[in-house]
């Protein structure tokens, strides 16, 4: 069998003389056989004996009978050794058929009561040109039908969009207090626990209504959390400090520490940009391997809030970190907070020296109150443990020995 094959521009239409069959008219096209004897028979029947068909030449399905074409998996195939017919030169010699129908009386229809128009003749197409005209008109009607279908679908989509917009206008709006309470419950219970709380409240008549998780996400979408100082956090935090009547409630410690992170680049959907590069000035374009966070920690009030973070390389310029700390101290003073001390581990001795601290100077003059430097208790205990394990000798003061009666 010869499979149906499509070629270039010449392979989209029939190669027989005076034949208008083409692939654009939804007709199947078949390639010429490779057998020289069978090829010569094809050319003779098509009226082109001296013509040498190119590889892209095709013959349409109008030159074959229905018995010569079979379908395999929906594709038309020719039976072996079939020869096409030269139908493109055959002109239909049909003549109009005039028929005169004799009218006879019937039980329920009399000749005198005939009210319908009788067609006494039937005209059929007289040639391929009329068939082609009917085919073209049918194609044009099909295209117009597709256009109308698309227009109807567009109108239906407009109606659906209008209905959705009306439903959006009727959605419930929650107050700021309700959203704040929902965020607190979501943080305390977690996503699954908050869903359970919403389900229990929904089944209880008269219970208060809280926002859905998606509503809570929309409420905080304006907070970008970009690397650097989080001004969108500090401004609301200032209102919290203004509500404290006792000045001691506004005393805080500023804690900063480093975290080791994996070296990789990710896309932040909220920021709409890649993250994973160093963000401190002078380190642009370098891969970050550490993250440094800055936290305001309340001394009297239960407050723990991240107010800034940066992505750093292993080697960081102390002057750049110093500038971040000074900006945070200035911003804390503007929002009404009293920074009492800087808390960090002893791995930040470079930045502490840059700020002015030393082994003999544990505080600085800062507007309002002195600014102290306090080592992290956990790291202080770890450093003491390392000292004891390394030296393996503990020398106690004589006063402690005498007071507790120790042997040495």
Give, in degrees to the nearest 5, the angle at Cα 378 between 375 and 384.
85
Using the 3D structure, point to which of 55, 89, 123 is the last residue of a domain.
Answer: 89
pLDDT digits (tens, 9 = 90+) for 255-303: 998 888 888 888 887 778 888 888 888 888 888 888 899 999 999 988 8
Mark whether 289 and 330 lie in a shared domain.
yes
Q: What is the mean pLDDT of the segment spanning 21-45?
A: 84
pLDDT band of residue 4 (cuts 50, 70, 90) is very low
Question: HEC string of 249-318?
Answer: HHEEEEEEEEEECCCCCEEECCCCEEECECCCCCCCCCECCEEEEEEEEECCCCCEEEEEEEEECCCCCH
Kindly indicate the confidence band of residue 364, based on its pLDDT and cuts at 50, 70 and 90: confident
Could you write out the DSSP letters of every residue in 347-359? GGHHHHHHHT-BT
Does residue 369 sit in the same domain as residue 251?
A: yes
Confidence check: pLDDT of 204 > 70: yes
Same domain for 242 and 345, yes or no, is yes
Q: What pLDDT, on the 0 to 100 scale, is given for residue 295? A: 93
State residue 149's pLDDT score: 92
Residue 57 forms part of a structural domain:
yes
- Based on the fold, state whether residues 256 and 303 are members of the same structural domain: yes
Q: Is residue 401 assigned to a domain?
A: no
| Residue 238 shares a structural domain with residue 355 | yes
* Closest of 54, 61, 64 to residue 4, by C-alpha: 61
Residues 181 and 70 in one domain: no
Count the Cβ atoms, other than its own, within 10 Å of residue 14: 25
- What would the two tokens of residue 267 be? 């896309």
Instruction: Answer yes or no: do 232 and 350 share one domain.
Output: yes
The Cα 359–Cα 353 span in angstroms is 9
Domains held by the chain: number: 3
203 and 249 share a domain? Answer: no
Please give the pLDDT value at position 128: 66
Percent of the chain with pLDDT over 70: 84
Q: Is residue 292 part of a domain?
A: yes
Query: What does pTM read for this prediction?
Result: 0.49
Determine how β-strand 58-60 pairs with β-strand 29-31. Answer: antiparallel
Pairwise pLDDT comparison (43 vs 107), residue with the higher score: 43
Please give the pLDDT value at position 90: 40
365's enclosing H/E stretch is: none
322 is in which domain, residue-wise? 228-380
Sheet holding 75-78, edge to edge: 2-3, 75-78, 69-72
Residue corresponding to tokens 């390389």: 313
Last residue of a domain, one of 55, 71, 89: 89
- The stretch 104-123 carries a mean pLDDT of 54
Please check whether residue 54 is in contact with residue 79, taking contact to mean a CB–CB distance below 8 angstroms: no
Please report the pLDDT score of residue 294 as a whole number. 93
Q: Judge whether 125 lies within some domain.
A: no
pLDDT in tens, 345-355: 866 788 888 88
Q: Helix, strand or coil for residue 375? A: strand
The confidence score (pLDDT) of residue 7 equals 45
Report d(CA 255, CA 298) in Å as an integer. 10
Query: Is 388 within the bounds of a domain?
Result: no
Q: What is the mean pLDDT of residues 70-91?
A: 71
DSSP 63-124: GS-GGGEEEETTEEEEPTT-----GGG-------EE--PPP---SS--GGG--S----EE--
The last residue of one of the domains, among 23, 55, 89, is: 89
Residue 232: inside a domain: yes
Range with lowest mean pLDDT among 91-100, 151-160, 247-256, 277-286 = 91-100
What is the pLDDT averaged over residues 5-16? Answer: 62
More reliable by pLDDT, 26 or 260 = 260
Residues 190 and 240 in one domain: no
Q: Which of 58-72, 118-132, 140-154, 386-400 holds the top average pLDDT?
A: 140-154
Q: What is the pLDDT of residue 92?
A: 41
Is residue 94 domain-resident? no
Q: 197 and 238 share a domain?
A: no
Q: How far apart are CA 145 and CA 139, in angstroms?
A: 10
User: Higher confidence at residue 336 or residue 26?
Assistant: 336
Q: How far apart are CA 253 and CA 92, in angstroms?
A: 103
Q: What are the DSSP calls for 205-239, one per residue?
A: TTPPP---HHHHHHHTTT----SEE-HHHHHHHHH
pLDDT tens digits, 134-149? 888 888 899 889 989 9
Q: Residue holding tokens 């310029």?
A: 317
Predicted confidence (pLDDT) at residue 73 exceeds the cutoff of 80:
no
Overall average pLDDT of the 104-121 stretch: 54
Are residues 295 and 356 located together in one domain of the fold? yes
What single-letter DSSP state applies at residue 60?
A: E
In a domain, 144, yes or no: no
Same domain, 214 and 241: no
């Amino acid at each position: 069998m010869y499979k149906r094959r499509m070629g270039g521009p010449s392979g989209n239409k029939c190669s027989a003389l005076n034949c208008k069959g083409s692939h654009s008219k939804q007709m199947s096209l078949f390639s010429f056989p490779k057998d020289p004897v069978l090829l010569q028979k094809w050319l003779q029947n098509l009226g082109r004996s001296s013509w040498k068909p190119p590889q892209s030449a095709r013959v349409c399905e109008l030159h074959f009978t229905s018995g010569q074409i079979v379908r395999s998996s929906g594709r038309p195939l020719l039976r072996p050794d079939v020869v096409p017919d030269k139908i493109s030169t055959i002109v239909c010699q049909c003549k109009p058929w005039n028929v005169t129908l004799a009218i006879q009386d019937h039980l329920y229809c009399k000749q005198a009561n005939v009210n319908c128009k009788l067609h006494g003749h039937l005209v059929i197409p007289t040639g391929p040109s009329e068939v082609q005209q009917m085919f073209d008109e049918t194609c044009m009607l099909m295209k117009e039908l597709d256009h109308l279908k698309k227009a109807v679908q567009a109108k239906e989509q407009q109606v659906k969009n209008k209905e959705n917009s009306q439903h959006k206008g009727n959605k419930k709006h929650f107050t700021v207090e309700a959203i704040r309470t929902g965020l607190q419950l979501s943080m305390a219970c977690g996503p699954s626990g908050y869903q359970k709380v919403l389900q229990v409240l929904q089944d209880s008549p008269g219970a208060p209504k809280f926002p859905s998780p998606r509503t809570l996400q929309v409420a905080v979408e304006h907070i970008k959390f970009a690397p650097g100082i989080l001004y969108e956090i500090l401004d609301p935090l200032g209102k919290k400090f203004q509500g404290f009547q006792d000045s001691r409630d506004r005393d805080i410690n500023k804690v900063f520490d480093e975290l080791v992170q994996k070296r990789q680049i990710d896309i932040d959907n909220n920021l709409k940009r890649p993250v994973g590069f160093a963000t401190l000035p002078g380190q642009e374009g370098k891969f970050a391997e550490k993250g440094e966070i800055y936290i305001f920690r309340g001394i009297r009030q239960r407050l723990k809030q991240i107010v800034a973070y940066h992505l750093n390389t292993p080697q960081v310029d102390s002057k750049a970190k110093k500038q971040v700390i000074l900006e945070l101290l200035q911003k804390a003073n503007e929002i009404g907070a009293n920074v009492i001390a800087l808390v960090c581990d002893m791995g930040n001795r470079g930045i502490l020296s840059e700020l002015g601290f030393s082994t003999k100077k544990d505080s600085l003059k800062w507007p309002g109150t002195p600014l102290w430097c306090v080592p992290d208790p956990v790291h202080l205990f770890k450093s003491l443990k390392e000292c004891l394990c390394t030296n393996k000798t503990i020398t106690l003061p004589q006063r402690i020995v005498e007071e507790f009666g120790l042997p040495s």
